[in-house]
Amino acid sequence: MIYLDYNATTPVNEEVLEVMLPFFTQFYGNAASRTHLPGWDAREGVDKARKQVANLIQVDPKDIVFTSGATESINLAIKGLYEIARKQGKNHIITVKTEHKAVLDTCAYLEKNHEAEITYLEVDTKGNIDLKTLENTIRKNTALVSIMYVNNETGLIHPVDKIAKICAISEVIFFSDATQAVGKMEVYPQESGIDMMAFSSHKIYGPKGIGALYIRKGISIQEQQNGGQHERKRRSGTLNVPAIAGFGKAAEIAQKNYATDTQQLKHQRNYLESQLLTALDHVIINGDTTNRMPHISNLLFKGIVAEDLMLALSTHIAVSSGSACNSASILPSHVLKAMHLSDEDALSSIRFSLGRPTTDDEINQTVKKVVEAVLRLKA
């Protein structure tokens, strides 16, 4: 099986697993236990990992909140900020139609149940927002702007530095879902001006079930689950020490591999695209090809139903038609629809996402299998 769905999840790195294992059996204490050695050992593991994760994005470890994953981080950031801002008369949130469902569904919840006013920005055919429109959309009661760093379906990189400047001038908090960016490129929220940022371990060869939220000093949020005063009173709950230790090691490894990963993945992705575009008629790259991550390729196969193509490939190649969180839906991708694709074209699109273990031979085999399957489906 050739795995090309690394945007959905990644395998746990062997070094990461080795770091995690002792915390299941040897250092099994509760990191909140302050009165004995097992608790101290667990706390030491958490502290080390917090420094590793913070170092990856060059922030103070005290500004990192560990969560169960990016979805919880997103909910904590948006809901936690909104609850406080609403008391100050600010109930307006700005986001984008192409955001991950974790953002869109959270905004919809606040809109329906907590009197939030949500503006969903449009995008062009490449997935880009208009910065002037963003600037003009900010109001006196705007509490938050939520725009992702990298789009999980197309790989588009949003201009977060420019967005942050617009927000800073208007004194509006800028939150970014950086799940598909952190660990894959240099992401420095303090340097960019991002106030809060969510990301996850299992996208960077760490374990599932652990994520983080960066919160800039001076920003207050309301915790969303109660039951203690963990994580500096921002997220109650017993810490998942083995996963946190693994997250830290994954962050450390990612930091060392930026350059080599980028070079390898960009070469492989470009080769995959050029070969498929040459061998097949009516194949189109969805999104902005000049400003995207090196490992993502979203391809439209005109006249082919993506579900049929994926089924034809399913015993050989693992790919997807978009976010794993929406894989149960037979509806066209909301991201591609927002980019003005027709239902037919959106349902004919497949996302290939490459990873560190991807080999040149796997790319060659993928080209061969995809071409064979498309020609067979068209026959």
State the catalytic residues: 325
Q: Distance between CA atoms of 289 and 229, rounded to whole angstroms?
A: 46
Cβ-based neighbours of 375, under 8 Å, separated by 6 or more:
280
